[in-house]
Structure 1
Amino acid sequence: MTRKQQRFTFIIVGLLLLGVAIALILTAMKDGISFFKTPTQIMTENLDPTTRLRIGGLVVIDSIERQNEVLTFQITDNNMNLNISYKGVVPDLFKQGQGVVLEGYLTPNKLFVADSLLAKHDENYMPKEVADSLKDQGHWQGQTPPTND
């Protein structure tokens, strides 16, 4: 092989290795990527149950129940409510009428099984999509919290 052929082979092998490395990184990151949705989007869209989701909304008043280690409650974007099931450590800031962000999976019967729960103490920390939805509907954190209808 001439020097030119060796250099060309080296470049091709390097590009192939780079492509494999990028593919491995993207595959590894795929499980960590979550798509943000509101309760209305989750209730109206046909979502794949294997898709990891991040949802946000306000905890509906009088919806919190604890059975053994499982916490169940509803969240709302003041348009639709979504049932949540969560097993894990509950943050001190978690309470009725406050904002939450959850990560997990949606079951076929529209129950969101969360494996991560973040409580927000005011709208300044609420995801932009949820805050915009609440503003559009005329509801805001400082107003009367949503009730369980």
Structure 2
Amino acid sequence: MKRHLDSTVDDEIQMEQQRFKPTTNEERLVLFKNWLDEHNVIWKYVDIRSSIFYGGFALYSTSSEELPIIEIPTSLLMPSESAKNSSTFIPPTSAVFNQAEQHIDQETLMLTLFLLHERSKGIKSFWYPYIQVLPTTFSTPLFHKENYVENTS
């Protein structure tokens, strides 16, 4: 027997989720900065701002006399151990790794899939404030074959 939630409960859940889901770059940035502060990230003489040139966000020095200082606790990093220790992520099997292009190492593939998994969790993801400031598109030679990259210079 399946239970169906009352439509008002569904509406309340959706409204609650929307309340925490930023829609503008400024809201995304505020959420991200608050997340950094909540997790004791030290960032002195720098600011994170929207960047038209880079098409997202960038770090800017706020002092011409002091060097920027950024200290990120290891708990905020997303190493491959996070994927292996996750209770909701199932690491790829060796069959999946064997099907991947040879130039993509297993750790890169695992972290890529884990990032997609965390992104699919939305606001329930611990890394949501970070994920939502990432660019939606970008170009990288990371997944290009070696001969393709060699011919680009």
The structure with the largest alpha-carbon Rg is 1
TM-score by length of 1: 0.23
TM-score by length of 2: 0.22
Between structures 1 and 2, the one with greater helix share: 2
